[in-house]
Structure 1
Amino acid sequence: MFHRAQHLLLILTFMLITPLACWAGEAAHGPQAKAGKGPAILLVTFGTSVPSGQAAFVNIEQQVKKAYPNTEIRWAYTSQIIRKKLAKQGTVLDSPEIALAKLMDQGYTRVVMQSLHMIPGAEFHEIYTNGKLFGQMAGGFDKVMVAYPLLSSDEAMEKTLQIVATTIVPKERQANEAVVLMGHGTHHPSDAIYSALMLKAQKMDANMYVGTVEGHPSFDEVKEALVKKGIKKAYLVPLMTVAGDHAMNDMAGDEPDSWKSQLTKAGIESVPVLKGLAEFDPIVDLWLENLKTAMQHVQ
C-alpha cells in the first residue's frame, strides 16, 4: 500500500512549501525603520476549548518567555468557532488580525507571528497573507515576519518523528506493537506532507504509521495495514499541537467511529497517549528554531 512511488511525495511536498521560504511579510516604510516598540511575538494557533489542552499552550509560552524574557508575547486563535465558544465562557481571545491591529495601535513597529500549526496549510497561508498586508500598511509596522509551522522541512519532519519515538511513545512499547500518529488532514495541497511523513515513519520504524482525520493517509488505510500485518496492540498519538477534541473523541473516544473503537473491533488493543506535541519541550524547541530565524530579521 505504501510503495516506492511515495518517494515522489517528498519532492512534491517541498516544492509546495518552498515558495514560502521568504519569511513572509516584510515591509519597510522609508530607508530607515522609525523608532517604535518591539519586536513583539504573536503566537498563532487554531486554538482549543478543551481545558486540559491548555497545558500545551502554557508550556509553549513558558519556553518562549525563557528564550525572549524582555519581549511582549501575545496570543491569537485562528478558529472563530473556538473564539466564540470561549467568549461565552468568559475568555476572550483575539483573531490574528485583531491582535495585529492592537499591536499597531499600541505603537509596536516590528512583530513576528509564530505559526503553531503542524503544516503550512490553509490557515498558515491565511496568516501569511494577512500578515504581509499589515506590513504594507502606510504608517503601520516596519516589519511583520511569519515564522514557519512545525513540519516545514525535511529535517523538521525527521526530528519530529524521532522525538515521538524516543520521548512521547511510552517506554513499554514493544517493537512488534504499532505507533499510529493522528494528523488532522486538510483539503489544501499541503496535505501531501502527511503522506511524506508516513514514508519517513515507515523507514524509521516499520510499525509506525501516520493517519489523518480529514485527509490522507486515511485511517482506513492505516487500519488495513495493521490488520494485514497482524498487529495486536497500537499506541495512538495525536500529531497535533494540543490533545483537544480530535484527540479525545475522534482518536480515543468510546463512540463506535473513534479510532480506538474501530481498532478494538478489529482485534487490536489501543493505548491512547492524550498529550499534545507542544507539551514536550523537544518539540517546542523545533518551533523555537523557526522563531529564532524570524526574530533575526526584526532586530
Structure 2
Amino acid sequence: MRVGRLLNKAVVVIMAALISVCLQTSDSRAHGHHKKQETKPAILLVTFGTSIERAQKSFANIDKRVKAAFPNVEVRWAYTSKIIRDKLARQGEQIDSPEMALARLMDDGYNRVAVQSLHMIPGAEFHEINANARLFARMAGGFDQLQVSMPLLINDEALGQALKIVKNQVVPKERKAGEAVVLMGHGTHHPSDAIYSALMYKAQKMDSNFFVGTVEGHPTFEEIRDALVEKKVKKVYLIPFMTVAGDHAMNDMAGDEPDSWKSQLAAVGIQSVPVMKGLGEVDAIDDLWIERLKAAMAHLK
C-alpha cells in the first residue's frame, strides 16, 4: 500500500512538472511570436475609389505628395467601394479593401501603421474604417501601433481653410462680379451631413455668391437653384467638392441628361461652367491631409 501511494504521488509530481514545462514552452512561443525583429512603418491611404481614368489624377497627385513627405515609409492604397473594386478587377486592376490591405501589411511585417481617410467628412465610411482598423491592433500578433487619421473637414478651421483654397486656386480667375460658384458635395444620411450646411454658412459669409449643395444630403440642389434664381444670377461655376472629379462630377453635375445640375440650371436660364478638377489635384488641399498624417505618424514611435 505504501509503495502504491508513493507511486501515485510520483505520478502526480511528474505530471505537474510536465504541465508546467508545457505552459512555459507555450508562453515562450507566444512571446517569440509577438516579438518583432524590426519596426516597419507604413501608411494606408483609404478612399471611396474611382474607375474613371481621368479622375485618377487626384490619386496620383496625393500619392506623389505623400511619398515626398514620408520618403522612407511604405505607402499603400485601399478603396472602400466594392463596386469600384470589382469593376477595376474586370479591367485587370486589383485594388484591396481596407481590411485586405491591412491584412497584407500585417503579413508583410509592418507593425506601425497610419491609416489616412481621404474622405471629405467623418461619415459612415470613415467610422467603419476606424472601427475595423482598430481591430487589427487588438488581435493576437496584430500591429504594435495603429493610428487612424481624420478626413478633410473635421472642424471649423478646416472648413475655412478648404474654402479659401478652393476660392483662390480652383475657381477660374475669369469669374466676374455677380457670377456664382456652386460646390457639389456628396452628402450622406449620416449625422455628419450637417458639416455641408456648416460649409454653406461659411461660404456665404466669405462670399455671398458662394454656394454648397449636395447630391444625397443637405443643402439640396433645389435649395441652391432657388437661391440662385432669387438672386437673379445668370452664370455659375460648378465645382466638385470631392477628392476626385469622377462619376458624380461628370454625370450628376456636368452631364447632358435633363436631371444634371447643369441641365436644370439651364432650364431656369442660368449658364453653367463646369470645372472638372478633383480636390486631390490641388496641392494645398493634399497638404491638409498630410498635416493630419504627420500628427498620426508622430505617435508611431
1:98 aligns with 2:100: yes
Which residue does the alignment assign to 2:216? 214
Q: Map 1:51-66 onto structure 2 (within 5 A).
A: 51-66=53-68
- How many percent identity over aligned positions? 68
Higher helix share: 2
Which residue does the alignment assign to 2:147? 145
Q: CA deviation at 1:288?
A: 0.6
Which residue does the alignment assign to 1:83? 85
Letter paired with 1:214:
E
Change (3 A) 1:101 1:227: same
Which residue does the alignment assign to 2:133? 131
Q: CA deviation at 1:37?
A: 3.8
Letter paired with 1:258:
S
Letter paired with 1:59:
N
TM-score (norm 1): 0.88
Which residue does the alignment assign to 2:236? 234
Which residue does the alignment assign to 1:122? 124
Change (3 A) 1:283 1:33: farther
Q: How far apart, in 1, do the equivalents of 2:260 and 2:252 lie?
A: 5
TM-score (norm 2): 0.88
Q: How far apart, in 1, do the equivalents of 2:177 and 2:100 lie?
A: 48
Q: CA deviation at 1:138?
A: 1.3
Q: Secondary structure at the match of 1:51?
A: coil
1:110 aligns with 2:108: no
Change (3 A) 1:33 1:120: farther
Letter paired with 1:253:
G
Which residue does the alignment assign to 1:267? 269
Does structure 2 retain, via aligned residues, the 8 Å contact 1:119–1:193?
yes
Q: How far apart, in 1, do the equivalents of 2:211 and 2:38 lie?
A: 48
Q: Secondary structure at the match of 1:52?
A: coil
Does structure 2 retain, via aligned residues, the 8 Å contact 1:182–1:251?
yes
Which residue does the alignment assign to 1:48? 50
Q: How far apart, in 2, do the equivalents of 1:35 and 1:121 lie?
A: 37
Q: CA deviation at 1:38?
A: 2.0
Does structure 2 retain, via aligned residues, the 8 Å contact 1:33–1:142?
no
Q: How far apart, in 1, do the equivalents of 2:89 and 2:164 lie?
A: 38
Which residue does the alignment assign to 1:190? 192
Q: Secondary structure at the match of 2:257?
A: coil
Which residue does the alignment assign to 1:257? 259
Higher relative contact order (CA 8 A, sep 6+): 1
Runs of 5+ unmatched residues, structure 2: 1-30
Which residue does the alignment assign to 2:283? 281
Q: How far apart, in 2, do the equivalents of 1:39 and 1:200 lie?
A: 38
- What's the Cα RMSD here? 1.3
Q: CA deviation at 1:175?
A: 2.4
1:162 aligns with 2:155: no
Runs of 5+ unmatched residues, structure 1: 1-28
Q: How far apart, in 2, do the equivalents of 1:35 and 1:269 lie?
A: 63
Q: How far apart, in 1, do the equivalents of 2:104 and 2:144 lie?
A: 15
Q: How far apart, in 1, do the equivalents of 2:54 and 2:131 lie?
A: 31
Which residue does the alignment assign to 2:296? 294
Change (3 A) 1:33 1:222: farther
Who wins on radius of gyration, i.e. which is larger?
A: 2
Q: Deviations over 1:133-171 (max 9, x none)?
A: 111111110111111110111111100000110100000
1:225 aligns with 2:227: yes
* Pairs aligned (count): 269
